[in-house]
Amino acid sequence: MSGPVIEAAGLSKRYGTATAVDSVSFTVGAGEIFGLLGPNGAGKTTTILMLLGLSDISGGTARVFGHDPAREPLAVKREVGYLPDSVGFYDNLTAADNLHYTARLIGIPRLERKKRIFGALERVGLHGVAEKRVATFSRGMRQRLGLAEIVMKGARIAILDEPTNGLDPQASLELLDLIRSLKASGVSILLSSHLLDRVQSVCDRVALFNAGQIVLMGTVAELGRQVLGGGFTVEVEAEGGKDIAKRLGALPGVRSLATPEPGRFRLTCERDLRAEAAAAVVAGEGRLKQLSLDQPSLENIYTRYFQGAAQAQEVRDAA
């Protein structure tokens, strides 16, 4: 891996007195999928627009392949493919004609255009409807057409704003597969979303946005350790036996033990303790019915973090 392809340092956006993005810093490495996550209005789209040079930067710096989006927007926009939130196309034109217009704007040579357009449509599975007017397309098809545009452009960075927003589960799974295949072909991807579980499955690293600031950043496992305390939660379901709870609680590496209902135990531990837990149950002559390891989920991290933040805020307000 070479250096980062996107670097933001202290990036800020102010509208009058309101601050939409408050000095965010992050980097996206080459070939990485980086997720900007957070509630609507947290400043994700504004950050993206500043990276593209489509919105003025009020403070801080941004670099895309070493180019400053404010000064060299064309150089940035040549390398970056952008899929806006609920992307639109010209309804009266066919899918191929829409891409043809973009291809000419990009400046793809005439002889190459057709090959690249149909290659891209094939890649996203739209080659069958290349000559259909976009007016007949479903939302999922439009999003895929947007990805086809990025593929056709040969972009080295793809910036996707809420790519799975408003899609049915099937369509969004297909879209995520396409995003993975983009990554496999060497494209670095920056995506924003408020749908946490979907995004978790594709992102290498994430940044959690809240009120214009990045509050947490790292891999999902890192965030889990940071916010949820223990990185691992082992769930044990066992029947019979003696002192199982005690035995499990005594295992080295267990931070806490909860018993949500009789016969079910939830261990929060520092490492994967499934084998030890199984041995403990058997040693206590219990019948092990189920044993599972919960990866920390973004959903949990997110809710837990904001619960914590809200409580801290209340405490501060009360003081």
Give me the residues that bind other proteins (CB under 8 A), please: 45-46, 49, 52, 54-55, 70-75, 77-78, 80-92, 101-102, 104-107, 146, 149, 153
| CB closer to other proteins out of 107 and 262 | 107
d(CA 194, CA 3): 28
Q: Tell me whether strands 4-15 and 59-64 are parallel, antiparallel or unpaired.
A: antiparallel
Closest separation in Å from C-beta 165 to other proteins: 12
Closest separation in Å from C-beta 90 to other proteins: 6
| CB closer to other proteins out of 72 and 204 | 72
Please report which helix (H) or strand (E) contains residue 147, including its range: helix 139-153
| CB closer to other proteins out of 209 and 265 | 209
Residue 207 has φ and ψ, to the nearest 5°, of -125, 125
d(CA 313, CA 224): 22
| CB closer to other proteins out of 45 and 268 | 45
d(CA 138, CA 45): 23
| CB closer to other proteins out of 49 and 178 | 49
Q: What distance lies between CA 194 and its chain's CA centroid?
A: 9
Closest separation in Å from C-beta 69 to other proteins: 11
**Under 8 Å between Cβ of 57 and 211:** no
d(CA 98, CA 161): 20
Residue type (1 letter), 20: A
Closest separation in Å from C-beta 100 to other proteins: 9
Closest separation in Å from C-beta 83 to other proteins: 8
